[in-house]
Amino acid sequence: MSKPRPLSGFPEFLPAQRSVEVEVLRTLSRTFELHGFTGIETRAVEPMDQLLRKGDTSKEVYVLKRLQDTEAGKDAGMGLHFDLTVPFARYVLENAGKLEFPFRRYQIQKVWRGERPQEGRFREFTQADIDIVGQGELPFHHDVEVTRVMLEALSQLTFLPGFRLQVNNRKLLQGFYVGLELADTDEAMRLVDKLDKLPEEKVREMLVAEAGLSDEQADKVLGLARICTPDDSFVEQVRALGVEHELLTQGLDELAALMRACQDIVTDTVRIEADLKIARGLDYYTGTVFETRLDGYESLGSICSGGRYDALATDGRTTYPGVGISLGVSRVLVPLLSKGHLVADRQVPSAVLVALTDEESRAGSTAVATALRTRGVPCEVAATASKFGKQIRFAERRGIPYVWFTQADGSHQVKDIRSGDQVAADPATWTPPTEDLRPQVVTHIPQKEIQ
């Protein structure tokens, strides 16, 4: 077999890169579980009719067929899921009788999209979703809850750059547009969503030409979109635009409550903004909406998005409202890892290499390793009884911080090969500092990361 080449759009990690991903996923899971979120997994496939319900993504689905069915062009009627929301909604309906509501779940899985690979877009990637789902109703305080949980989860990833969670509320937008008497509020929302990519002047033209807004209406719509505050002071600014509507008031109240309830966890690196241009155009959100920007990596787009659905799922009789947020784990990690901005300080979990004097003493070295492992110290025994200098270089190449030697008289020494310090040690009691037990993530993020 000749040397295989990577498949475009299907990123894979080397061991030290994967260590970073594992650290991220463990931190996320731990935070989600601390907040009572249950981890579930759904199968990778869904029936095609489920996947095609959201019209605009249908072209991106990978359809499965069994190899022996090739000739007939027959497929299995199933495709790979392209997000974790569609399978979760199906899981909730399928198991509604066996779940307790409100149901908090987190789900960290790969998803697949058959789209053309490009910077920041993958065909296989990992998402980490949290959602809270109610049966019939779901009080607004759960919107605050998912916001706080994701803020906390992201802030635990201390090796990542800072970030900015941008929050808005669809009721606020919808109420403002209805209050302004816009003919087509959906179209206006879709165009405002383009402020990310297009200059304001261009969006104004489209609002007038495509959505039929008057100049005055366009001014107000863009005035609203310009409002962005780190606290609840946006309310006053919106009120100053002089538009009135009951739904607008509801949206303002909700967003203000959310902003106030999150102030205690804001820091220099963990920020939240009421950003009134955020609309999440094509998705079916009905209240709170989220996007998130990573400092210095704004070109990645939103790395963490979501919102409130009044009907995450429905079986016709019961409706299941939900609020959730989805972190694009691969979207963040693949660029940072492939540029070397993040890396782990070792390629293996081992904190200790137990050196081998000769092949006959392998059982003795294995016994040392076994003793260390009982206290949770990951270690490996040297593969061959080469010269100690060579065994130390072997450890160095892998980033293993300690090498353990058993002397001829049966006494033991352990060497920190970073400092060169070597001390007497007892396999029954010695433990390295906690930070050496697991690979550490090292950041090499340029001061001015320009993408």
Touching its own copies, residues 6-45 (CB under 8 A): 6-7, 10-15, 18-19, 22, 33-45
Residue 240's contacts (CB-CB under 8 Å, 6 or more residues apart) are none
Please indicate if the annotation marks 121 as binding a ligand.
no
State yes or no: residue 316 binds its own copies (CB under 8 A). yes
Radius of gyration of the chain, Cα coordinates, nearest whole angstrom: 27
64 touching its own copies, by CB under 8 A: yes
Q: Is 267 in the site for its own copies (CB under 8 A)?
A: no
The answer to whether 340 contacts its own copies (rule: CB under 8 A) is no
Say whether 253 counts as a known binding-site residue. Answer: no
Which residues, including other chains, have CB under 8 Å from residue 32's CB and lie 6 or more apart? 39, 106, 130, 149, 153
Cβ of residue 370: shortest distance to its own copies, in angstroms?
A: 9
Task: Identify which of residues 50 and 237 has a Cβ nearer to its own copies in the complex.
Answer: 50
Minimum CB distance to its own copies, residue 234 (Å): 21
- Concatenated DSSP letters of 27-47: HHHHHHHHTTPEE----SEEE
> Does the protein bind its own copies through residue 117 (CB under 8 A)?
no
116 assigned ligand-binding residue: no
Exactly one of 27, 54, 83, 114 binds its own copies (CB under 8 A); that residue is: 114
Closest of 225, 207, 227 to residue 217, by C-alpha: 207
390 contacts its own copies (rule: CB under 8 A): no
Site for its own copies in 142-161 (CB under 8 A): 142
- Strand pairing partners for 157? none
* Residue 426, marked binder: no
What's the DSSP call for residue 263? G
Would you say 83 is a known binding-site residue?
yes
Q: At what angle do helices 200-209 and 215-226 cross, to 10 degrees?
A: 140
**Binding status of residue 94 toward its own copies by CB under 8 A:** yes
Cβ closer to its own copies: 100 or 119?
Answer: 100
Looking at beta carbons only, is 10 or 284 nearer to its own copies?
Answer: 10
Is 102 a binding residue for its own copies by CB under 8 A? The answer is: yes
Q: Which amino acid is at 377?
A: V
Q: Residue 33 to residues 3, 262, 280, 340: CA-CA distances in angstroms?
A: 42, 20, 28, 30
Beta bridge partners of 271: 164
Residue 314 is assigned to a ligand binding site: no
Q: How far apart are the first and last CA of the chain?
A: 38
From 398, 416, 422, 445, residue interacting with its own copies (rule: CB under 8 A): 398
User: For its own copies, how many residues bind (rule: CB under 8 A)?
Assistant: 92
Closest CB to its own copies among 294 and 353? 353
Query: Is 309 annotated as contributing to ligand binding?
Result: no
Which listed residue (27, 99, 219, 357) binds its own copies by CB under 8 A?
Answer: 99
Could you give the C-alpha distances from 133 to 262, 269, 361, 387, in angstroms and in order? 21, 30, 59, 61
Residue 106, annotated ligand binder? no
- Stretch binding its own copies (CB under 8 A), from 54-62, 278-286, 290-298, 421-429: 54-62
Give the separation between CA 319 and CA 268, rounded to whole angstroms.
40
Stretch binding its own copies (CB under 8 A), from 100-108, 189-197, 283-291, 335-343: 100-108
Quickly tell me which residue has 């911080």 as its tokens: 401
- x-or-dash string of contact with its own copies, 202-241, rule CB under 8 A: ----------------------------------------
* 113 annotated ligand-binding residue: yes
Residue 1 interacting with its own copies (CB under 8 A):
yes
| Angular region, 301: left φ>0, alpha ψ -120 to 50, beta rest | left
Residues near 185 by beta carbon (within 8 Å), at least 6 away in sequence: 173, 174, 177, 178
| CA atoms within 13 Å, Cβ hemisphere of 175 | 23
Print the binding letters for residues 244-263 with its own copies: x by CB under 8 A, - otherwise.
-----------------x--
444 by DSSP, 3-state: which? Answer: coil
User: Which of 56, 66, 408, 429 lies at the binding interface for its own copies (CB under 8 A)?
Assistant: 66
Helix (H, G, I), strand (E, B) or coil at 321: strand
Residue of the chain from 117, 162, 301, 378 that contacts its own copies (CB under 8 A) = 378
Report the binding-site residues: 83-85, 113, 127, 131, 280, 284-285
Report the binding-site residues for L-histidine: 83-85, 113, 127, 131, 280, 284-285
